[in-house]
Amino acid sequence: MKILFSRRTAVVCGTLLASVIANAQAWPSKPIKFVVPFTAGGANDLMARAAAEGAGKVLGQTIVIDNKPGAGGTLGADFVAKSAPDGYTFLISAAGVISNHMIKKSMPFKESDLTPVALIALAPSVIVAPPNSTYNNLREFVEASKKSPDGFNFATAGTGSTPHFVAEVLKSKYGAKLQVVPYKSGNESATAIMGGQVQATSEASIISLPKIQGGKMKALANTWTSRISSYSQLSTAAEQGFPEVKIAHWAGVHAPTGVPAEVMDKVAAAVDAAMKMPEIANRLKAVGIEPMGGTRAAFVQFVAEEKGRLAVIVKASGMKEE
Protein backbone atom coordinates (compact mmCIF):
# COMPACT_ATOMS: atom_id res chain seq x y z
CA MET A 1 0.00 0.00 0.00
CA LYS A 2 2.82 2.36 0.85
CA ILE A 3 4.44 1.76 -2.52
CA LEU A 4 1.12 2.21 -4.31
CA PHE A 5 0.46 5.48 -2.43
CA SER A 6 3.93 6.78 -3.29
CA ARG A 7 3.46 5.99 -6.96
CA ARG A 8 0.06 7.67 -7.04
CA THR A 9 1.48 10.70 -5.26
CA ALA A 10 4.30 10.88 -7.77
CA VAL A 11 1.86 10.70 -10.66
CA VAL A 12 -0.32 13.46 -9.17
CA CYS A 13 2.69 15.69 -8.44
CA GLY A 14 4.04 15.09 -11.92
CA THR A 15 0.70 16.02 -13.46
CA LEU A 16 0.51 19.22 -11.41
CA LEU A 17 4.08 20.16 -12.35
CA ALA A 18 3.36 19.57 -16.03
CA SER A 19 0.25 21.75 -15.73
CA VAL A 20 2.22 24.60 -14.12
CA ILE A 21 4.89 24.42 -16.82
CA ALA A 22 2.28 24.33 -19.59
CA ASN A 23 0.48 27.35 -18.12
CA ALA A 24 3.74 29.28 -17.85
CA GLN A 25 4.58 28.51 -21.47
CA ALA A 26 1.11 29.57 -22.64
CA TRP A 27 1.22 32.78 -20.63
CA PRO A 28 -0.14 35.36 -21.32
CA SER A 29 -3.44 34.13 -22.67
CA LYS A 30 -5.55 37.03 -21.34
CA PRO A 31 -5.09 40.69 -20.25
CA ILE A 32 -2.64 41.41 -17.42
CA LYS A 33 -3.39 43.82 -14.60
CA PHE A 34 -0.90 46.35 -13.19
CA VAL A 35 -2.22 47.60 -9.84
CA VAL A 36 -1.08 51.17 -9.10
CA PRO A 37 -1.43 51.88 -5.34
CA PHE A 38 -1.72 55.63 -5.92
CA THR A 39 -4.11 58.00 -7.69
CA ALA A 40 -3.87 58.60 -11.43
CA GLY A 41 -1.61 61.36 -12.69
CA GLY A 42 1.33 61.02 -10.30
CA ALA A 43 4.86 59.80 -11.02
CA ASN A 44 4.12 56.18 -10.08
CA ASP A 45 1.03 56.11 -12.29
CA LEU A 46 2.83 57.71 -15.24
CA MET A 47 5.68 55.19 -15.05
CA ALA A 48 3.19 52.34 -14.77
CA ARG A 49 1.33 53.43 -17.90
CA ALA A 50 4.55 53.74 -19.88
CA ALA A 51 5.62 50.24 -18.81
CA ALA A 52 2.18 48.81 -19.57
CA GLU A 53 2.16 50.33 -23.05
CA GLY A 54 5.59 49.03 -24.03
CA ALA A 55 5.50 45.68 -22.24
CA GLY A 56 2.05 44.98 -23.65
CA LYS A 57 3.44 45.32 -27.16
CA VAL A 58 6.30 42.95 -26.38
CA LEU A 59 4.04 40.34 -24.78
CA GLY A 60 1.30 40.69 -27.36
CA GLN A 61 -1.31 41.18 -24.67
CA THR A 62 -3.15 44.14 -23.16
CA ILE A 63 -1.92 45.37 -19.78
CA VAL A 64 -4.64 47.16 -17.84
CA ILE A 65 -3.90 49.81 -15.19
CA ASP A 66 -5.98 49.51 -12.01
CA ASN A 67 -5.55 52.42 -9.56
CA LYS A 68 -6.14 51.35 -5.94
CA PRO A 69 -4.90 54.27 -3.77
CA GLY A 70 -5.00 54.35 0.01
CA ALA A 71 -2.94 54.01 3.19
CA GLY A 72 0.29 55.24 1.61
CA GLY A 73 0.26 52.53 -1.03
CA THR A 74 -0.58 49.72 1.39
CA LEU A 75 -4.13 49.13 0.12
CA GLY A 76 -3.03 48.29 -3.43
CA ALA A 77 -0.02 46.31 -2.24
CA ASP A 78 -2.23 44.21 0.04
CA PHE A 79 -4.61 43.50 -2.86
CA VAL A 80 -1.76 42.14 -4.98
CA ALA A 81 -0.13 40.26 -2.11
CA LYS A 82 -3.37 38.34 -1.63
CA SER A 83 -4.05 37.81 -5.34
CA ALA A 84 -3.69 34.45 -7.08
CA PRO A 85 -0.06 33.94 -8.22
CA ASP A 86 -1.16 33.15 -11.76
CA GLY A 87 0.87 35.84 -13.52
CA TYR A 88 -2.04 38.13 -14.31
CA THR A 89 -1.91 40.57 -11.37
CA PHE A 90 1.16 42.64 -10.52
CA LEU A 91 1.88 45.59 -8.24
CA ILE A 92 3.49 48.79 -9.46
CA SER A 93 5.70 49.16 -6.43
CA ALA A 94 7.48 52.13 -4.88
CA ALA A 95 9.83 52.64 -1.93
CA GLY A 96 6.89 52.23 0.44
CA VAL A 97 6.75 48.52 -0.35
CA ILE A 98 10.01 48.38 1.60
CA SER A 99 9.75 51.19 4.15
CA ASN A 100 6.14 50.64 5.25
CA HIS A 101 7.11 47.38 6.93
CA MET A 102 9.80 49.29 8.85
CA ILE A 103 7.73 52.17 10.17
CA LYS A 104 4.08 51.09 10.37
CA LYS A 105 2.76 49.56 13.57
CA SER A 106 1.06 46.78 11.66
CA MET A 107 0.72 45.62 8.07
CA PRO A 108 -2.06 43.50 6.51
CA PHE A 109 0.44 41.31 4.65
CA LYS A 110 3.97 40.00 5.10
CA GLU A 111 6.95 41.42 3.26
CA SER A 112 7.59 37.94 1.85
CA ASP A 113 4.15 37.93 0.19
CA LEU A 114 5.51 40.07 -2.66
CA THR A 115 8.43 39.24 -4.96
CA PRO A 116 10.52 41.79 -6.95
CA VAL A 117 10.19 41.41 -10.71
CA ALA A 118 11.39 44.50 -12.59
CA LEU A 119 12.53 48.09 -12.16
CA ILE A 120 10.62 50.43 -14.46
CA ALA A 121 11.99 53.93 -13.99
CA LEU A 122 12.72 56.56 -11.37
CA ALA A 123 12.01 60.22 -10.82
CA PRO A 124 14.87 61.83 -8.90
CA SER A 125 13.76 63.90 -5.94
CA VAL A 126 14.69 67.59 -6.17
CA ILE A 127 15.42 69.56 -3.01
CA VAL A 128 13.70 72.90 -3.45
CA ALA A 129 13.39 76.21 -1.59
CA PRO A 130 11.20 79.31 -1.92
CA PRO A 131 12.17 81.36 -4.99
CA ASN A 132 13.33 84.33 -2.92
CA SER A 133 15.54 82.32 -0.55
CA THR A 134 19.10 83.54 -0.03
CA TYR A 135 20.72 80.10 -0.42
CA ASN A 136 21.30 78.85 -3.96
CA ASN A 137 22.39 75.24 -3.51
CA LEU A 138 22.25 72.43 -0.96
CA ARG A 139 25.58 73.29 0.66
CA GLU A 140 24.51 76.87 1.31
CA PHE A 141 21.17 75.65 2.65
CA VAL A 142 22.75 73.23 5.14
CA GLU A 143 25.23 75.81 6.36
CA ALA A 144 22.50 78.43 6.74
CA SER A 145 20.37 75.99 8.77
CA LYS A 146 23.26 75.43 11.19
CA LYS A 147 23.59 79.17 11.77
CA SER A 148 19.87 79.75 12.26
CA PRO A 149 18.91 79.94 15.99
CA ASP A 150 15.87 77.71 15.50
CA GLY A 151 17.00 75.82 12.43
CA PHE A 152 14.93 75.49 9.27
CA ASN A 153 11.53 73.91 8.64
CA PHE A 154 11.63 71.07 6.11
CA ALA A 155 8.24 70.04 4.68
CA THR A 156 7.42 66.38 4.08
CA ALA A 157 4.45 64.43 2.74
CA GLY A 158 4.19 62.55 6.03
CA THR A 159 6.12 59.95 7.99
CA GLY A 160 8.18 57.68 5.75
CA SER A 161 7.75 59.80 2.63
CA THR A 162 10.71 60.47 0.36
CA PRO A 163 11.24 64.05 1.65
CA HIS A 164 11.17 62.70 5.21
CA PHE A 165 14.07 60.37 4.38
CA VAL A 166 15.94 63.24 2.67
CA ALA A 167 15.54 65.44 5.76
CA GLU A 168 16.67 62.69 8.15
CA VAL A 169 19.81 61.99 6.09
CA LEU A 170 20.71 65.68 6.05
CA LYS A 171 20.24 65.80 9.82
CA SER A 172 21.99 62.57 10.82
CA LYS A 173 24.81 62.52 8.28
CA TYR A 174 25.57 66.21 7.73
CA GLY A 175 24.37 68.03 10.84
CA ALA A 176 21.68 70.11 9.18
CA LYS A 177 19.46 71.80 11.78
CA LEU A 178 16.00 70.89 10.50
CA GLN A 179 12.52 70.64 11.94
CA VAL A 180 10.47 68.09 9.99
CA VAL A 181 7.02 69.50 9.21
CA PRO A 182 4.63 66.76 7.98
CA TYR A 183 1.92 67.72 5.52
CA LYS A 184 -0.79 65.42 4.18
CA SER A 185 0.61 65.34 0.66
CA GLY A 186 3.39 66.50 -1.62
CA ASN A 187 1.05 69.07 -3.13
CA GLU A 188 0.50 70.67 0.28
CA SER A 189 4.22 70.81 1.03
CA ALA A 190 4.87 72.31 -2.41
CA THR A 191 2.28 74.98 -1.68
CA ALA A 192 4.04 75.71 1.62
CA ILE A 193 7.32 76.19 -0.24
CA MET A 194 5.84 78.52 -2.82
CA GLY A 195 4.20 80.51 -0.03
CA GLY A 196 7.43 80.77 1.94
CA GLN A 197 5.97 78.97 4.97
CA VAL A 198 8.88 76.51 5.14
CA GLN A 199 12.51 76.74 4.09
CA ALA A 200 12.77 73.58 1.96
CA THR A 201 11.32 70.26 0.89
CA SER A 202 12.05 67.66 -1.77
CA GLU A 203 9.69 66.50 -4.45
CA ALA A 204 9.72 64.21 -7.48
CA SER A 205 11.23 65.79 -10.58
CA ILE A 206 7.99 65.36 -12.53
CA ILE A 207 6.23 67.62 -9.97
CA SER A 208 9.01 70.06 -9.13
CA LEU A 209 10.59 70.82 -12.51
CA PRO A 210 7.61 72.71 -13.99
CA LYS A 211 7.45 74.87 -10.84
CA ILE A 212 11.21 75.45 -10.89
CA GLN A 213 11.15 76.44 -14.56
CA GLY A 214 8.17 78.69 -13.85
CA GLY A 215 10.08 80.56 -11.14
CA LYS A 216 7.87 79.31 -8.31
CA MET A 217 10.61 77.29 -6.62
CA LYS A 218 14.38 77.35 -6.44
CA ALA A 219 16.22 74.07 -7.10
CA LEU A 220 19.04 73.25 -4.68
CA ALA A 221 20.07 69.70 -5.64
CA ASN A 222 19.00 66.49 -7.33
CA THR A 223 19.00 63.59 -4.86
CA TRP A 224 19.88 60.75 -7.26
CA THR A 225 23.29 59.56 -8.46
CA SER A 226 23.17 61.17 -11.90
CA ARG A 227 21.81 64.42 -13.31
CA ILE A 228 18.28 64.67 -14.68
CA SER A 229 18.30 64.26 -18.45
CA SER A 230 15.88 67.14 -19.08
CA TYR A 231 17.44 69.47 -16.47
CA SER A 232 21.12 68.67 -16.52
CA GLN A 233 22.14 72.10 -15.20
CA LEU A 234 21.11 70.99 -11.70
CA SER A 235 23.94 69.24 -9.86
CA THR A 236 23.43 66.18 -7.69
CA ALA A 237 23.71 66.23 -3.92
CA ALA A 238 26.74 63.95 -4.26
CA GLU A 239 28.45 66.45 -6.54
CA GLN A 240 27.95 69.09 -3.84
CA GLY A 241 29.54 66.89 -1.16
CA PHE A 242 26.53 64.96 0.15
CA PRO A 243 26.98 61.40 -1.20
CA GLU A 244 24.66 59.87 1.41
CA VAL A 245 21.72 61.80 -0.04
CA LYS A 246 20.70 59.10 -2.51
CA ILE A 247 16.98 58.61 -2.95
CA ALA A 248 14.41 58.73 -5.73
CA HIS A 249 10.75 58.14 -6.43
CA TRP A 250 11.09 54.80 -8.23
CA ALA A 251 8.51 52.48 -9.71
CA GLY A 252 8.96 48.76 -10.13
CA VAL A 253 6.92 45.62 -10.62
CA HIS A 254 6.28 43.17 -7.77
CA ALA A 255 4.36 39.90 -8.07
CA PRO A 256 2.38 37.94 -5.50
CA THR A 257 4.84 35.32 -4.28
CA GLY A 258 4.38 32.06 -6.11
CA VAL A 259 4.24 33.33 -9.69
CA PRO A 260 6.37 30.98 -11.86
CA ALA A 261 9.92 32.20 -12.43
CA GLU A 262 9.46 31.85 -16.20
CA VAL A 263 6.57 34.31 -16.11
CA MET A 264 8.43 36.83 -13.96
CA ASP A 265 11.43 36.63 -16.30
CA LYS A 266 9.17 37.37 -19.27
CA VAL A 267 7.68 40.39 -17.49
CA ALA A 268 11.12 41.71 -16.58
CA ALA A 269 12.35 41.29 -20.16
CA ALA A 270 9.23 43.03 -21.53
CA VAL A 271 9.60 45.99 -19.14
CA ASP A 272 13.30 46.26 -20.01
CA ALA A 273 12.44 46.33 -23.71
CA ALA A 274 9.74 48.95 -23.07
CA MET A 275 12.21 51.28 -21.36
CA LYS A 276 14.47 51.03 -24.42
CA MET A 277 11.73 52.03 -26.88
CA PRO A 278 12.68 55.56 -28.07
CA GLU A 279 9.11 56.87 -28.05
CA ILE A 280 8.61 55.77 -24.44
CA ALA A 281 12.08 56.62 -23.12
CA ASN A 282 12.02 60.12 -24.64
CA ARG A 283 8.52 60.79 -23.31
CA LEU A 284 9.61 59.91 -19.78
CA LYS A 285 12.87 61.86 -19.94
CA ALA A 286 11.00 64.96 -21.14
CA VAL A 287 9.14 65.17 -17.82
CA GLY A 288 12.13 64.41 -15.59
CA ILE A 289 11.80 60.63 -15.31
CA GLU A 290 14.73 58.34 -16.04
CA PRO A 291 13.81 55.01 -17.73
CA MET A 292 15.67 52.10 -16.12
CA GLY A 293 14.62 48.52 -16.93
CA GLY A 294 17.19 45.77 -16.43
CA THR A 295 17.01 42.12 -15.40
CA ARG A 296 14.93 40.57 -12.64
CA ALA A 297 18.13 39.74 -10.74
CA ALA A 298 19.22 43.38 -10.94
CA PHE A 299 15.92 44.54 -9.45
CA VAL A 300 16.17 41.98 -6.65
CA GLN A 301 19.58 43.46 -5.83
CA PHE A 302 18.24 47.03 -6.11
CA VAL A 303 15.45 46.26 -3.63
CA ALA A 304 17.90 44.61 -1.21
CA GLU A 305 20.21 47.64 -1.33
CA GLU A 306 17.29 50.06 -0.86
CA LYS A 307 16.12 48.05 2.14
CA GLY A 308 19.57 48.19 3.71
CA ARG A 309 19.97 51.93 3.22
CA LEU A 310 16.48 52.86 4.37
CA ALA A 311 16.72 50.63 7.44
CA VAL A 312 19.77 52.54 8.64
CA ILE A 313 17.93 55.86 8.29
CA VAL A 314 14.81 54.55 10.05
CA LYS A 315 16.89 53.29 12.97
CA ALA A 316 19.03 56.43 13.27
CA SER A 317 16.02 58.75 13.19
CA GLY A 318 13.61 56.62 15.21
CA MET A 319 11.13 57.00 12.35
CA LYS A 320 7.80 55.45 13.31
CA GLU A 321 4.19 55.73 12.24
CA GLU A 322 2.42 58.50 14.14
Cα separation, 75 vs 254, whole angstroms: 14
**What pLDDT, on the 0 to 100 scale, is given for residue 2?**
45
Beta-bridge mates of residue 127: 202, 221
For the cut 90, the answer to whether the pLDDT of residue 10 exceeds it is no
For the cut 90, the answer to whether the pLDDT of residue 30 exceeds it is yes
Across the chain, mean pLDDT equals 92
Tell me which residue of 272, 313, 261, 265 sits closest to 119, measured CA to CA: 272
Pick 170 or 11 by higher pLDDT: 170
**What pLDDT, on the 0 to 100 scale, is given for residue 186?**
81
**What pLDDT, on the 0 to 100 scale, is given for residue 56?**
98
Other C-beta atoms lying within 10 Å of the C-beta of residue 306? 19
What confidence tens digit (pLDDT) does each residue in 190-200 have? Answer: 999 999 999 99
Q: How far apart are the first and last CA of the chain?
A: 60
For the cut 90, the answer to whether the pLDDT of residue 201 exceeds it is yes
Tell me which residue of 277, 315, 288, 257 sits closest to 81, measured CA to CA: 257
**What pLDDT, on the 0 to 100 scale, is given for residue 259?**
98
Q: What is the 3-state secondary structure (H, E, C) of the chain?
A: CHHHHHHHHHHHHHHHHHHHHHHHHHCCCCCEEEEECCCCCCHHHHHHHHHHHHHHHHHCCCEEEEECCCHHHHHHHHHHHCCCCCCCEEEEECCHHHHHHHHCCCCCCCHHHEEEEEEEEEEEEEEEECCCCCCCCHHHHHHHHHHCCCCEEEEECCCCCHHHHHHHHHHHHHCCCEEEEECCCHHHHHHHHHCCCCCEEEEEHHHHHHHHHCCCCEEEEECCCCCCHHHCCCCECCCCCCCCCCCEEEEEEEEECCCCHHHHHHHHHHHHHHHCCHHHHHHHHHCCCEECCCCHHHHHHHHHHHHHHHHHHHHHHCCCCC
Parallel/antiparallel/unpaired status of strands 152-156 and 178-182? parallel
Cα separation, 284 vs 271, whole angstroms: 14
Instruction: Give the mean model confidence (pLDDT) for residues 273-280.
Output: 98
**What pLDDT, on the 0 to 100 scale, is given for residue 58?**
98
pTM: 0.88
For the cut 70, the answer to whether the pLDDT of residue 3 exceeds it is no
C-alpha triplet 213, 164, 112: angle, nearest 5°: 115
What confidence tens digit (pLDDT) does each residue in 37-91 have? Answer: 998 988 899 999 999 999 999 999 999 999 999 988 999 999 999 999 999 999 9
Helix (H) or strand (E) holding 118: strand 114-129
Pick 304 or 20 by higher pLDDT: 304
What confidence tens digit (pLDDT) does each residue in 110-164 have? Answer: 999 999 999 999 999 999 999 999 999 999 999 999 999 999 999 998 888 899 9
Beta-bridge mates of residue 73: none
For the cut 90, the answer to whether the pLDDT of residue 235 exceeds it is yes
For the cut 70, the answer to whether the pLDDT of residue 320 exceeds it is yes
What confidence tens digit (pLDDT) does each residue in 296-310 have? Answer: 999 999 999 999 999
